[in-house]
Amino acid sequence: MNKAHILTPWDGDGSEDNPYHPLLSDAFPTTQSWRDVTGQPVPNLHPDPNLLVIEVICDKETLSAIEADPRFLVIWGSDMSDKNEKPSTKIVSDIRSWLTSQSLSTSQATSIIKTSKTFEQISDELRTYLKTRPKKDKSDVP
C-alpha cells in the first residue's frame, strides 16, 4: 500500500446528507483510507482557495489514477518519491502551475513552493498556508 499527501478541493455543503468532504473521496470511493492533515476550521469551509491536503492510503493503481486526474495534485507518494528529497526544478514548476490553476497568484505559489524544500516540507508549507485561509466569498462562486 502507498501513503501519499494529496491536494484536493473540498466538496459537499455541510448537511447531514452531504457533509463537507474531500472531492477525492467521491472520485475514488474505494480508496483504502484518507485523513485530513490540514485541519481547517469548519466555519472557513469552503476556503479560498478551495483546497486541503489529505493523507491517503491506497494501492499503486489508484495512486496512478489520482496522479492522472487534473483535479488533484499528488505532492508525494511513498511509491513515487522519497518525501525527504528535494524535487527537481521541473516538478517545482509543475506544482506552482497547478496551484495557479486553482486561483493562487504566481507570487503566492512561488512563495509557498520553494526550490530548496523537500517534498515533505512542501506539504508542510501548503498545510500551514491552507489552514488559515478564509471562507470563500459566496459572490465568487460561479
Partner 1 sequence: MPKYRNRSFHNLLVPQQRAGSSLLIHDQFTDTNGVHLHDHAVSPVNVPSATWTDVESVATIQSNRAYCSAATVQTCYLDTGIADALIEASVSTVAAAHYYSGILFRCTDSTHNWRARINYNSLSFDIVEVNGSLTVRASAYVGYSGGVEYPISVTFSGQNISATFSGTTTITYNSATMNQTVTKHGVYFRLVGCTVDEFKVSRL
Nearer to partner 1, 32 or 84 (CB): 32
d(CA 1, CA 87): 22
Q: Which of 3, 9, 21, 135 binds partner 1 (CB under 8 A)?
A: 21
With contacts defined by CB under 8 A, name the span among 8-16, 78-86, 97-105, 109-117 that binds partner 1. Answer: 8-16
- Least Å from the CB of residue 83 to partner 1: 18
**CB 53, CB 75: distance < 8 Å:** yes
- Least Å from the CB of residue 57 to partner 1: 8
d(CA 92, CA 30): 30
Does 134 bind partner 1 (CB under 8 A)? Our answer is: no
Does 132 bind partner 1 (CB under 8 A)? Our answer is: no
**CB 37, CB 54: distance < 8 Å:** yes
**CB 129, CB 37: distance < 8 Å:** no
How many C-beta atoms surround the C-beta of residue 52 within 10 A? 27
Residues that bind partner 1 (CB under 8 A): 12-17, 19-22, 25, 29-39, 41-43, 45
